[in-house]
Amino acid sequence: MSGDIIKGGKSPAVSSSVEVAAFLRQAALVPVARTGRRGRLLFAMDATASRQPTWDRAQAIQADMFASTDALGGLDIQLVYFRGFGECQASGWFAEGRKLGAAMASISCAPGQTQIGKVVRHAIKAAGEQKLNAVVFVGDAMEESADELVSEAGKLGMLGVPLFVFHEGGEEHAAACFRAMAKATSGAYCSFDASSPGVLRDLLSAVAIYAAGGRAALDDFSRRSGTAVQKLIEQVSGKERPSK
């Protein structure tokens, strides 16, 4: 896989995808003025051994992230992943789903521990080089220092880059850290169930639309989307309802 190498050493599920189907159908109709500059999204995934089914699923649906932003001026996406013993890599920037899909197809998941801190530090570096509109992280576990991860996320938040964490399974220890990281960046946290692949598709498309069109684009969709996307929008807008 071409691109930079990041060097290093050795909840309950959201709603059914049926409820957010209208979200994608309306993508091409959103009236957002073009800025002359494409959005930039860093798409990070845990590629340790347990993640292969979700990796394959994301590979199959990633083109939707590009398609959903066509009416908003388009999107460039960089893939970042970690696996094995200290391997954490970043691709070049992709402007179309076909090329990103091919890159993902060449990668297999491998046993190892999480390296989320490296992902966040890479995002900070990328944001310092050129405007970065959003970061997505998809994973199921966290095996690092929660305090350090939240601190690093805070630095990303100071650069104005929201972090969107899509957490498979919702394990409590990881969930608490992921929520705090998202909050530190004014981003959002959502859990999803592997048995509902359409939900991940819709959530990824929602963030792509945010990266390309900003909060105005998400707000416009909030009137037509289901619970999953509405929850994401509420968090980004600072209007999340307290848990009962």
3-state secondary structure of 5: strand
Our count of domains for the chain comes to 1
The β-bridge partners of 191 are 167
In a domain, 3, yes or no: no
Helix axes 197-222, 52-61, angle to 10 degrees: 50
Encode the chain (244 residues) as per-residue pLDDT tens digits. 444 445 443 333 333 444 334 433 433 343 333 445 789 999 999 999 989 999 999 999 999 899 888 878 889 999 999 999 899 999 999 999 999 999 999 999 999 999 999 999 999 999 999 999 999 999 999 999 999 999 999 999 999 999 999 999 889 999 999 999 999 999 999 988 877 777 888 889 889 988 988 887 777 766 665 667 777 777 876 655 444 3
Question: Which candidate, 116, 159, 158, places its Cα nearest to that of 141?
Answer: 116
The DSSP line for 41-94 is: EEEEEE-BGGGHHHHHHHHHHTHHHHHTTGGGT-EEEEEEEEETTTEEEEEEEE
CATH number of the domain bearing residue 162: 3.40.50.410
In a domain, 33, yes or no: no
**Structural domain of 128:** 20-25+38-236
Q: What pLDDT score was predicted for residue 201?
A: 85
The amino acid occupying position 67 is A
Encoding tokens for residue 31? 């009236």
Q: What pLDDT score was predicted for residue 28?
A: 34
Question: Which candidate, 162, 136, 158, places its Cα nearest to that of 215?
Answer: 162
> Would you say the pTM of this structure is higher than 0.95?
no
